[in-house]
Amino acid sequence: MSIFENLQMLIFGIKYTENVIPGFAATTKGPFIKMLPIYKYDAGLLEHEKVHVRQWYALLAIGVLISTLLTLLVSLSFLPLYGLSLFLHQSLYKFIRPYRRWCEVQAYRKQIAVGGYISNDFAVTTLVEKYDLNLSADEAQALLFD
């Protein structure tokens, strides 16, 4: 069981709104999920977004731990790092392609496992086309199903 699966008592907020990034059904920023209302009963999509919330919490915990160690063991001047911990996941996701790939593969695996979809081709197509991951369809297929 992974650290993310252990975070069962997850605190998150969800808002059903049309104000989502065009081309996406939902987005997550920290512990806040925005989802198009037509996907309100899509359990797979909700679980996908909750994986991203868990990833955010995990990186928040790591950031706070590192900030605490640096502040206690090195210097009080590292105290402002606590505030940066809130943005660690978003920063890595935006700027580090392998981290973004890992995040999305984990989220789509969960979505596929829970969603009960007729076809899972959407996950392969989305990984190839929407996240700037430089993946071929075969590579995306292997990451999701092998």
Strands 26-29 and 32-35: antiparallel
Number of Cβ atoms within 10 Å of the Cβ of 13: 10
Quote the strand ranges of 1-146, DSSP E. 13-16, 26-29, 32-35
Instruction: For 15-66, write each residue's pLDDT tens digit.
Output: 999 999 999 999 999 999 999 999 999 999 999 999 999 999 999 999 999 9
Strands 32-35 and 13-16: parallel
Q: How far apart are CA 41 and CA 143, in angstroms?
A: 27
Of 11 and 133, the structure prediction assigns the larger pLDDT to: 133
Q: How far apart are CA 80 and CA 84, in angstroms?
A: 7
Entry field: residues in the chain: 146
pLDDT at 45: 97
Domain boundaries, the chain: 3-145
Name the nearest CA neighbour of 52 among 12, 6, 96. Answer: 12
Q: What is the mean pLDDT of the chain?
A: 91
pLDDT-above-90 percentage for the chain: 80
pTM of the model: 0.89
